[in-house]
Amino acid sequence: MTTAPDSVGSTGRVLLVGPADAGKTHYGAVLLERWCAGRGALELLSPPDDLTAFAEARAAIQQGKCAPHTPKATFRETPIRLRTRSGRDCELLWEEYGGETLADMLRLRRFPPLWCSRIRDTGRWLLMIRPGPIEKPVVAFPKRGASVATGAPAASVTGSQAGLVELLQLFLDVAGLSAFDPAALPRLAVVLSCWDEMPNPTVPDAVLVERCPLLSAFLKSVWPTDRRAIWGVSSLGRSLSQDEPDVAYRDAGPQQQGYLVLGDGTHSEALDEPLRWLGGGE
């Protein structure tokens, strides 16, 4: 997201980070539907020239179905020109990629040059995670005689709290940033997806503490409170099937669906509020 020259980061773009099945595809498709309908905290200045990255997902949700999983080999960038309520123009560079890409980079401890450049040149990170499937930390000292796994499938590397913490640590290292200089850290928006599937959810921060205590403690120990914020989101507002269309959802339209959960637990229709906050909150 390109903003004023004095903003953190040389390009001001938002770096979207999320493991496999985090909900990035649905979130992006619903945001575009809302922007096209004029239902967002940000105003869409003009439709993107190339909507290939959103085509399959938008077609699915417009029929009342959920979108298929993004293939691992996928990588597309879509510039989206937006305007804040204060009249400030910005550009969101939406990147669509398979979540397994992050798992592979973490497992191999190697980042392609494109990703290194992206990490160094962004001063705004959006971390999207789905708390339900996140693995809890394993017991540090197993019982005598118990077998200990020496490796893990790539898909599970970023599906654990330890993996997400390590991923963020590597990002900071690649960016040349340190927790000892908190003012230089990127703004970090944490979005907990699939809020509607969680039993007895409360407020986003409490859910993160309960479901991902290790990740929560790391974020609070590294990022100052004015540079991090957390939301919950249900992009679709309900569970959809890939096979059977939800007629009520289809008839209402995806631009009318979904909600954002604010820090106090109240719901908002402004699903793009995390992006507005990343852009400076104007």
Residue 9 lies in a domain: no
The pLDDT of residue 133 is 64
Determine the structural domain holding residue 214 and report its residue range: 14-137+154-278
pLDDT band at 231 (very low <50, low <70, confident <90, very high): very high
Residue 143 lies in a domain: no
The pLDDT of residue 154 is 40
The pLDDT of residue 132 is 74
Q: Which residue has the higher pLDDT, 151 or 33?
A: 33
Q: What is the pLDDT of residues 45-95, one digit of tens each?
A: 888 888 887 888 889 999 999 888 776 666 777 888 888 877 878 778 787
User: Crossing angle for the helix pair 213-222 and 204-211, nearest 10 degrees?
Assistant: 120
Angular region, 253: left φ>0, alpha ψ -120 to 50, beta rest: left
Q: Is the pLDDT of residue 136 over 50?
A: yes
Percentage of the chain exceeding pLDDT 70 = 83
Residue 145 lies in a domain: no
Q: What is the pLDDT of residues 22-33, one digit of tens each?
A: 888 899 999 999
Residue 250 lies in a domain: yes
What is the pTM assigned to this prediction? 0.84
The runs of H, that is alpha helices, within the chain are 24-36, 52-62, 100-108, 113-120, 154-157, 161-175, 204-211, 213-222, 247-252, 273-278
Residue 209 lies in a domain: yes
Residue 249 lies in a domain: yes
User: For the chain, what is the domain count?
Assistant: 1
Residue 121 lies in a domain: yes
Q: How far apart are CA 141 and CA 144, in angstroms?
A: 9
The pLDDT of residue 169 is 93
Residue 144 lies in a domain: no
Q: Is the pLDDT of residue 232 over 90?
A: yes
Q: Which residue has the higher pLDDT, 191 or 197?
A: 191
Buried b (16+ CB within 10 A) or exposed e, 22-39: bbbbbbbbbbbbbbeeee
Is residue 122 within 8 A of residue 9, CB to CB? The reply is yes
Is residue 69 within 8 A of residue 130, CB to CB? The reply is no
CATH classification at residue 65: 3.40.50.300
The pLDDT of residue 158 is 52
If you ran DSSP here, which 8-state letter would residue 256 be given? Answer: G
